[in-house]
Amino acid sequence: MECRVLSIQSHVVRGYVGNKSASFPLQVLGFEVDSINSVQFSNHTGYSHWKGQVLTADELHVLYEGIKLNNVHHYDYVLTGYTRDTSFLEMVVDIVQELKRANPSLVYVCDPVLGDHGSMYVPQNLYPVYKNKVVPVADIITPNQFEAELLTGKNISTEKDAVEVMDLLHAMGPDTVVITSSDLPPRLGDRFLVCLGSQRHVRPDGSRTTERVRMEVPKVDAVFVGTGDLFAAMLLAWTHHYPNDLKTACEKTFSVMHHVIQRTISYAHELAGPGRRPSPPQLELRMVQSKADIEDPAIVTKATVIS
């Protein structure tokens, strides 16, 4: 039976960001994807110039109503990423709630894009909407450390802090939380980045148990755009295939990321030439070229189970 995803994210004509970063890999893995573009830009905003349009909440509502009128609004997953407008985000919440009423087993995967490294890169008024409306209806969330701290009001200085923050996020609604990057000290050295995940499971007797994992992934000295969208899409896919095995789902997800990023940085350095830093066009994700790695990634990032 096919699995259907409604992806509400940004779209760029050139490169892989938002819906393009999510739709292609999901389709490669057998998912049927319906895409609604929250913005349509010529290219991502890491370039010197960009042009395009931003979808309003009313326009989103019209598109969704069209889907409903044709009775094709039957989804297994909803996936969302970057947005800058509170009314648009509130409309997404309304759509998710309606879809969950029609299909109580629907899974909402949310990348709560708020900021990084101590500063926000969306308007401040999005924060209470994410905290009070979005996260409570989400099933899977993929914040970075800054976003996880912002949503819970608790700082992360140790692994114990991170576990407590993930538990606080669970208490807000989501059963699966993956902190995609953190400032925690890596055991493998400063060339690595620590990521953590937590997943609540319900036992047959109704009691709950929690699986928590830690990963250390290699740092890359470059700025990529679209990796967060790709990560959320791959976590959706691999938790679908391994619903009760967060360790394997994370290993598959992070390994896909590794292969795509390594292929991209190698290609970018080749284009840039010796001693030159690659430009944004040269750092566009090599997604199509990574099709085989998306389908069956060689595991290069191992997760360890933590208490």
pTM: 0.96
* Distances from the Cα of 258 to the Cα of 54, 80, 220, 272, angstroms: 31, 22, 10, 21
* Distances from the Cα of 106 to the Cα of 75, 225, 273, angstroms: 7, 28, 47
> pLDDT tens digit string along 39-88?
899 998 889 999 999 899 999 999 999 999 999 999 999 999 999 899 99
> pLDDT tens digit string along 167-176?
999 999 999 9
By annotation, the residues acting in catalysis are: 229
What six digits make up the tokens of 242? 């391994």
Phi, psi of 231 (to 5 degrees): -60, -50
Cα–Cα distance measured from residue 257 to residue 142, given in angstroms and rounded to the nearest whole number = 14
> pLDDT tens digit string along 230-273?
999 999 999 999 999 999 999 999 999 999 999 999 999 999 99
Strand order in the sheet with 31-41: 52-54, 31-41, 3-12, 77-80, 107-110, 140-141, 176-179, 192-202, 208-218, 303-306
Domains plus CATH for the chain? 4-305 (3.40.1190.20)
Cα–Cα distance measured from residue 223 to residue 267, given in angstroms and rounded to the nearest whole number = 14
pLDDT in the model for residue 1: 66
The strand pairing partners of 140, in sequence order, are 109, 176
* Distances from the Cα of 10 to the Cα of 21, 43, 180, 277, angstroms: 10, 11, 20, 27
Q: Are 124 and 95 contacting, i.e. CB atoms less than 8 angstroms apart?
A: no
pLDDT in the model for residue 92: 97
Asked whether residue 90 carries a pLDDT value surpassing 90, the answer given is yes
Cα–Cα distance measured from residue 287 to residue 275, given in angstroms and rounded to the nearest whole number = 25
